[in-house]
Amino acid sequence: MKDTYESPLASRYASREMLYLFSPDKKFTTWHRLWIALARAEMELGLPITQAQIDEMERERDHIDYDLAAQKEKELRHDVMAHIHAYGAHCPSAMPIIHLGATSCYVGDNTDVILMKEGLQLIRDKLVRVLASLARFAGRYKALPTLGYTHYQAAQMVTVGKRATLWMNELLSDLEEVEYRLDHLKLLGCKGTTGTQASFLELFAGDQEKVRQLDRKIAVEMGFGPDQVQPVTGQTYSRKVDAAILATLSGIAQSAHKFATDLRLLCHMKEIEEPFEKHQVGSSAMPYKRNPMRSERICALARYVMADSLNPAMTASVQWFERTLDDSANKRISVSEAFLAVDAILNLYENVASNLVVHEKVIAKHIQEELPFMATENILMDAVKAGGDRQALHERIRTHSLAAGSRVKDEGKDNDLLERIAADPAFGLTREQILRHLDPADYIGCCPEQVERFLRDCIQPVLEKYAGALAGHSAEIMV
């Protein structure tokens, strides 16, 4: 059936692994795991819960009775209570102790943290794969001269590989942000309705150490360190956590947008293009076109993420006292969709970066159109060494440059600046002496060495640290 709205993030863009992470199956099996962790910790701390009850819960851990849950939610108007009843129906002996002492945020918020953690791990690995693709590209073209641009006007030369390191350096910063978020992400734990843990203090007959141990045991079972639990909360973890994580995702989107925009400009100049498949259609009207549609899609999705990152920031700012519920509907959409969109962006980024097409002859042609202007400083130095007046020659170069520029822009002819200078007796230089300044490699400065150092000192350690992320993976483009 196709008569109901479906999100393009699910149907067109995001990968299967990220879609699964934010699926109902993953969400509700995580709720089950949290209920098992709670019961197990409570049993170990002395509450009258049996191993048989936990074993029963374990057997049904991955079984979600969606029909019964939907029936119960329609009756109870509460999603967590609906799933408690649905789970308990298949774990009858454990039903009395499922969710013991907890509030809805125990499963809801802890699951959100777990999903964001696993989502960041997927994003981290994809960032590493993009860096690996760009590293190969940068290494291959580390010494290939190309025009550098400031204000999108031709400036001093760089190299194709050096420009790629600028894209990589931003992604490296994003990777560090992701690592920071993963290192500092903490579970809500078991805090109760206003964060006081009063219900658990009652269950453990006033033993505060057991209440503390409950948090620690649950954290360890759910894959966190014993101290990776929020020290103080209201009913929910601070929504600033969501805002911080989406700010990190927004940073990735910003970096990807910069790359894709640069590439779209390079495609226009026909210097570097994204991959274009054998039967790919560039335009329904103009069959000759090779539109950079993947880069355009990166920019489109990146803008969405950057705008979406404002949602949790606004939500965090208006949480009243120990909790309010105007966060829930927004969180369900904004957080998951940010992850799905960044996942799609990085899949596209890796695909494009792995298959960039470099047109070296076009790059060389563009260099030759601008190189005479860049060579004038070196020509000036030679003329001064031969006895010329620096200030007078500077004025002569300015005059010749304006005339040559007018010839190029107003008449559509070739740049004849060097011929003008060679014919000017004030410079005292032969045409051969002038033309020796036209080797583009003389104008790229330290670019090759910068690329080599950057790849060796900054990128290689990352690729070695996350070698597992590089094994057997390739970018998945859904449509």
Whose structure tokens read 């109760």? 192
- Do 119 and 180 fall within a single domain? yes
225: left (phi over 0), alpha (psi -120 to 50) or beta: beta
What is the DSSP secondary structure assignment for residue 357, as one 8-state letter?
Answer: E
Least confident of 252-261, 268-277, 288-297: 288-297
For 432-459, letters b (16+ CB in 10 Å) and e give: eebeebbebeebbeebbebbbebbeeeb
Which of 93, 283, 406, 474 is flagged as catalytic? 283
∠ CA 336-337-338, nearest 5°, is: 90
The region of weakest confidence among 71-75, 103-107, 283-287, 467-471 is 283-287
pLDDT in tens, 16-57: 999 999 999 999 999 999 999 999 999 999 999 999 999 999
Distance (Å, whole) CA 473 – CA 17:
12
What pLDDT band is residue 231 in, cutting at 50, 70 and 90?
very high
Structural domain includes residue 459: no
Q: Which helix (H) or strand (E) holds 358?
A: strand 357-358
pLDDT per position as a tens digit, 381-425: 888 998 999 999 999 999 999 999 899 889 998 889 888 998 999
Residues 178 and 267 in one domain: yes
Cα–Cα distance for residue pair 131/119, rounded to 1 Å: 18
C-alpha dist (Å) from residue 120 to 18, 180, 182, 311? 10, 10, 7, 19
- Is a pLDDT exceeding 80 seen at residue 428? yes
> Does residue 34 share a domain with residue 146?
no
Rounded CA-CA distance 266/273 in Å is 7
Last residue of a domain, one of 74, 100, 126: 100
Inside any domain, residue 339: yes
261 and 376, same domain (yes or no): no
- The residues, ordered by sequence, that sit 6+ positions from 161 with a Cβ below 8 Å of its Cβ are 137, 138, 139, 140, 141, 142, 143, 144, 447, 448, 451
Which CATH number covers residue 302? Answer: 1.20.200.10
Taking each helix axis from N to C terminus, what angle separates 24-44 and 104-140, rounded to the nearest 10 degrees?
120
Give the other-Cβ count within 10 Å of 343's Cβ: 26
Task: Inform me whether the pLDDT recorded for 344 exceeds 90.
Answer: yes
CA distance 153 to 167: 19
CA dist 307 and 338 (Å) reads 10
Does 449 reside within a domain? no
Q: Which domain holds residue 119?
A: 105-189+236-276+287-355
Q: Which of 100, 132, 162 lies at the terminal end of a domain, its last residue? A: 100
Per-residue pLDDT at 276: 73
Residues in the chain: 479
Q: Which two tokens stand for residue 49?
A: 């819960």
pLDDT in tens, 395-405: 999 999 999 98
For residues 183 and 116, state if they share a domain: yes
Q: What is the pLDDT averaged over residues 337-358?
A: 97
What is the distance between the alpha carbons of residues 448 and 463, in angstroms, rounded to a whole number? 20
Q: Are 331 and 391 found together in one domain?
A: no
Active site residue 283: yes
Tell whether 329 and 374 lie within a shared domain: no
Give the confidence band of 168 by pLDDT, cuts at 50, 70, 90: very high
In whole angstroms, give the CA distance from residue 43 to residue 153.
Answer: 70
* Residue 471's pLDDT band (cuts 50, 70, 90): confident
Same domain, yes or no: 269 and 350: yes
Q: Does residue 470 lie in a domain region?
A: no
pLDDT of 1: 75
Under a CB-based contact definition with an 8 Å cutoff, are residues 84 and 107 in contact? no
| Res 28: pLDDT | 98
pLDDT attached to residue 72: 96
Comparing 52-66, 263-277, 339-353, the range with the smallest average pLDDT is: 263-277
Domain boundary among 311, 338, 355: 355
151 is catalytic: yes
Residues 93-98 have a mean pLDDT of 98
The verdict on residue 161 lying in a domain is yes
Average confidence score pLDDT of the chain:
94
Number of domains in the chain: 3
Rounded CA separation 51/355 (Å)? 55
Share of the chain above pLDDT 90, in %: 86
How does DSSP classify residue 443?
A: G
Q: What is the pTM of this model?
A: 0.93
Supply 56's token pair: 């029963």
Give the pLDDT band of residue 250 (cuts 50, 70, 90).
Answer: very high
Residue 468 domain flag: no
Identify the pLDDT of residue 278.
54
